[in-house]
Amino acid sequence: MALPAPVVSYLQSSFLEETRPFCLLLDANYRVVDSWGDNSWCGLTGIEPGADMRESAPFLVGLPLTETQRFEFIETVGRAIVHAHLVPEGDNCYVVLLDARVAHAAQQTTQHSVNEHRLMHVRQRKFIARQRELISELIETRSELEHHRRDAERSSAEKSRFIASMSHEFRTPLASIINYAELAAAGDTSANDVQKCIETISRSAQHLTSLVEALLDDATLDAGQVELVEHDFDLRKVFDDLAAMMAPLAAEKGLSFVTLVDPDVPKVIHADEVRLRQVLINVLGNAVKFTLEGSVKITATYAVDRLRIKVADTGPGISPEDQERVFRAFERGSTREKAGAGLGLTISLRLVQLMRGEVSLESVQGQGCEVIIVIPAAASAAPIGHDTGMFAALGSDTMAQKPLSVLICDDDADMVALVEHYLHRSGYGLITSSDTTEAIEKTLNYAPDLVLMDCNIPGIGGVAAALQLRERGYAKPIVALTASNLDAEEQGAFTRFFRKPAPMQELLAEIKRLTH
Amino acid sequence: MTRLTSKVCIVGDFAVGKTSVVERFVSNHFSGKYLSTVGVKIDTKEIEQGAAGVSHKLVIWDVAGSDSFGDREFAYLRGASGYIFVADGTRALTIGAVETIQSQIAEKFGAAPSVLLLNKRDLVAEWEVTDERFEALSASFNGAFKTSAKTGDDVEDAFARLAQLIVENELRGK
């Protein structure tokens, strides 16, 4: 049933008032045929018969005029907001535009609120995901921190144990040195006893030196400053030297000491002889130290450019749990009564690894122990030109053969007196200085035949002094004699480098070699 | 010089920066304020495509954001010569929306020139789209651009690329 006429009339007038319809009649080419209504609100211009409406109403571009179409909420270039209706009529088409600002504003408020809400959800989701990541990272970081804390605690405990151990290790030989020195100085001690005192003092001092050397080696390895020096050498000679060193120690304990080099081992091999000796002395020293009866045997075999050395003993063996620990710094297994820093095997392992080799340990508790060292070592055809053995005899004649002078720069009066004594006895003229500034001036003024320089001394320091002397034209040998641990570059400032305590005979022989 | 007028529709999920991209292209301006588009906004810009000898007027329909289209939105697309799909590089889910819309359009209107814009590239710390995914998207659309309506980066290039594709398509049609 149709609505009453007054209602229809009311609705029509309300609708027309609200939407302010504007109507165009366009031909098939979008040209104006006719128009009706108020166009002032919708920003359309140039509405004249024949005008192409796609210019002023670009939303018409591309739209077919042959179908009834309805577009809601078009914001035109003129920023009017319209509902557009296209109503074809024969070859023409009515385009009816209705003002949609009021409805658009209401819908935009709603739509915007919905979109903001959805965006907030997205941000929340991202925030929660990020929180989860952070929590996960936090857990991981805490776990790492806990791990580091445990490492630090273990390290601290190891260091504390090490300091306690070192304190004991140092005090024993120091006590021996002090007590025997007092005994030697006592007026009523016989010459024979004084000689024994001196021998004991010397032995204790050498033991202290070996402890310090082990500590320095460990620190140097930690700092990554150890560089291999590979050259050709005779392994059999090395084994002879090791036998000369170890056999008497073994004999003292009633042990047999056996060395065996397989015929397949080349006469001359290429490797770092000094470091290999150090490793073998460490391993053999341990074997002799811990073996109470039976034997210590060292054998060498060779295959495919790799040298394999096995040190086997008939000692108490090492329990499986101790086998994991003996290669760690400051660990000595469960046999604590034996002396040592607990660094020997650690250093040996690290040196062998530096040589690109491997160390393995096989032991059954109560049935001895085998340490196997494998390192790359190419066979060399080159003959050995000179004796490079650690225990090779030093030049026996250290006496100066002509009038020569040596400048000693050292701030330790006792050390100056000692070196002065030996050099004077060897026939050298001496100039002394206790700081580098004075030493440089004296060197340039008196031109000694050699400068013997400490490094950690007042003034600019020994290394800088050596470099300055070179810059200022001093061309003769400068020998470092220092307790400092110089790196390779610092050592390069000197002709030769000796670390205190240096064997005096060796130092004198080198001074003679450099000055003659 | 040949004159050409083309209808181009900008589509994509809500709040990906469609209106800002158009504003940057048409007025070289950026407003950081977000205001939801209702219905469609019409803008025009004329560009010279010297190589093709074409003066090209683009009638740009900036369609309200949606993750899928209905009758009202499809009505807006009638007669479009090309599409710019816009996604938000800091919301990877919006890529799924343009992929849905792309397939809906292809099904309803057939293939047409298009490019993909991964917008908001200035928000580096929040970017969620890997280079590998970007390459894959670039292959599945006719080209993809990492754009920033805020800085203007690559916006002009993206529209120029679409205009070029439309001209090539028109020439093939003739």
Q: Is residue A496 a contact partner of residue A435, using CB atoms and an 8 Å limit?
A: no
Q: Cβ B38–A108 below 8 Å, yes or no? A: yes
Q: Report chain A residues whose CB lies below 8 A from the CB of B34.
A: 115-116
pLDDT over 90 (residue A36): yes
Residues on chain B bordering chain A, Cβ-to-Cβ distance under 8 angstroms:
5-7, 14-15, 34-36, 38-44, 59, 61, 64-65, 72, 75-76, 78-81, 91, 93, 126
In a domain, A106, yes or no: no
Q: What is the chain A residue with the closest CA to B36?
A: A112
A72 in B contact zone (CB under 8 Å) = yes
A64 in B contact zone (CB under 8 Å) = yes
What is the average pLDDT score of chain B?
93
Residue span of the structural domain in which A277 resides = 231-379
Q: Report chain A residues whose CB lies below 8 A from the CB of B7.
A: 61-62
Which of A77, A112, A115 is closest, CB to CB, to B44?
A77
User: Residue A9 carries which DSSP code?
Assistant: H
Q: Cβ B78–A62 below 8 Å, yes or no? A: yes
A195/A403: higher pLDDT: A195
pLDDT over 50 (residue A326): yes
Cα–Cα distance, A156 to A342 (Å, whole number): 16
Q: Does domain B2-166 have CATH number 3.40.630.30?
A: no
A130 in B contact zone (CB under 8 Å) = no
Q: Cβ B42–A76 below 8 Å, yes or no? A: yes
Q: How much is the pLDDT for A233?
A: 92
Q: Cβ A73–B40 below 8 Å, yes or no? A: yes
Q: In whole angstroms, how far apart are CA A314 and each of A261, A269, A296?
A: 20, 30, 7
Q: How much is the pLDDT for A397?
A: 56
Which among A475, A417, A422, A424 has a CA at the least distance from the CA of A451? A475
User: Residue A3 carries which DSSP code?
Assistant: P
Q: How much is the pLDDT for A380?
A: 86
Which of B14, B42, B80 is closest, CB to CB, to A74?
B42
Which percentage of chain A shows pLDDT scores above 90? Answer: 51
**A476 plus A374 within the same structural domain:** no
The whole-model pTM stands at 0.53
Q: How many CB pairs under 8 A join A and B?
A: 72
Closest Cα of chain A to B83: distance in Å? 14
Q: Report chain B residues whose CB lies below 8 A from the CB of A59.
A: 42, 59, 61
Q: Cβ A107–B5 below 8 Å, yes or no? A: no
> pLDDT band at residue A395, thresholds of 50, 70 and 90?
very low
Q: Cβ B40–A61 below 8 Å, yes or no? A: no
A416/A373: higher pLDDT: A373
Q: How much is the pLDDT for A388?
A: 38
Which of A64, A74, A77 is closest, CB to CB, to B40?
A74
> pLDDT band at residue A505, thresholds of 50, 70 and 90?
confident
Mean of pLDDT values over A351-358: 92
In a domain, A458, yes or no: yes
CATH number of A241's domain: 3.30.565.10
According to the 3-state scheme, what is the secondary structure of chain B?
A: CEEEEEEEEEEECCCCCHHHHHHHHHHCCCCCCCCCCCCEEEEEEEEEEHHHCEEEEEEEEEECCCCCCCHHHHHHHCCCCEEEEEEECCCCHHHHHHHHHHHHHHHHHCCCCEEEEEECCCCHHHCCCCHHHHHHHHHHCCCEEECCCCCCCCHHHHHHHHHHHHHHHHHHHC
In a domain, A168, yes or no: no
Among the listed ranges A27-31, A314-318, A374-378, which one has the minimum average pLDDT value?
Answer: A314-318
In a domain, A415, yes or no: yes
CATH number of A507's domain: 3.40.50.2300
A112 in B contact zone (CB under 8 Å) = yes
In a domain, A156, yes or no: no
In a domain, A459, yes or no: yes
A505/A47: higher pLDDT: A47
Q: Report chain B residues whose CB lies below 8 A from the CB of A58.
A: 5, 42, 44, 59
Residue where a domain terminates, one of A364, A379, A394: A379
Closest Cα of chain A to B153: distance in Å? 24
Total number of domains constituting chain A: 3
**A375 plus A408 within the same structural domain:** no
pLDDT over 70 (residue A165): no
A129 in B contact zone (CB under 8 Å) = no
Task: Give per-residue pLDDT as tens, B105-142.
Answer: 999 999 899 999 999 999 999 999 999 999 999 988 88
Among the listed ranges A316-320, A327-331, B8-12, which one has the minimum average pLDDT value?
Answer: A327-331
Where do the structural domains in chain B lie, given as residue ranges?
2-166
Give the DSSP H/E element, type plus range, for residue A68: none
Q: Report chain A residues whose CB lies below 8 A from the CB of B59.
A: 58-59, 61-62
Phi, psi (deg, nearest 5) at residue A378? -70, 145
CATH number of A78's domain: 3.30.450.20
CA torsion angle A48 A50 A55 A56 (round to 10): 20
Q: Is residue B56 a contact partner of residue B82, using CB atoms and an 8 Å limit?
A: no
Which of B7, B34, B40 is closest, CB to CB, to A61?
B7
Cα–Cα distance, B92 to A135 (Å, whole number): 23
pLDDT over 50 (residue A389): no
Q: How much is the pLDDT for A422?
A: 85
Mean of pLDDT values over A191-211: 80
Q: Report chain A residues whose CB lies below 8 A from the CB of B42.
A: 58-59, 74-77
Q: Cβ A61–B41 below 8 Å, yes or no? A: no
**A362 plus A421 within the same structural domain:** no
A63 in B contact zone (CB under 8 Å) = yes
Q: Report chain A residues whose CB lies below 8 A from the CB of B81.
A: 62
Secondary structure class of A279 (helix, strand, coil): helix
Indicate the burial class of B97 (C-beta count within 10 angstroms; 0-12, 13-18, 19 or more). Answer: buried
Task: Give per-residue pLDDT as tens, A266-317.
Answer: 999 999 988 898 889 889 988 998 899 999 999 999 998 999 999 999 999 8
Q: What is the chain B residue with the closest CA to A62?
A: B79
Q: Which residues pair with B47 in a beta bridge?
A: B56
Sign of CA dihedral A491, A494, A497, A499: negative
**A276 plus A375 within the same structural domain:** yes
**A314 plus A440 within the same structural domain:** no
pLDDT over 70 (residue A382): no
Q: How much is the pLDDT for A144?
A: 96
Q: Cβ B80–A62 below 8 Å, yes or no? A: yes
- The runs of H, that is alpha helices, within A186-339 are 191-222, 235-252, 273-290, 320-325
Q: Is residue B83 a contact partner of residue B104, using CB atoms and an 8 Å limit?
A: no
In a domain, A346, yes or no: yes
Closest Cα of chain B to A484: distance in Å? 52
Q: Is residue A271 a contact partner of residue A375, using CB atoms and an 8 Å limit?
A: yes
> pLDDT band at residue A401, thresholds of 50, 70 and 90?
low
> pLDDT band at residue A381, thresholds of 50, 70 and 90?
confident
Task: Give per-residue pLDDT as tens, B56-95.
Answer: 999 999 999 988 888 889 999 999 999 999 999 999 999 9
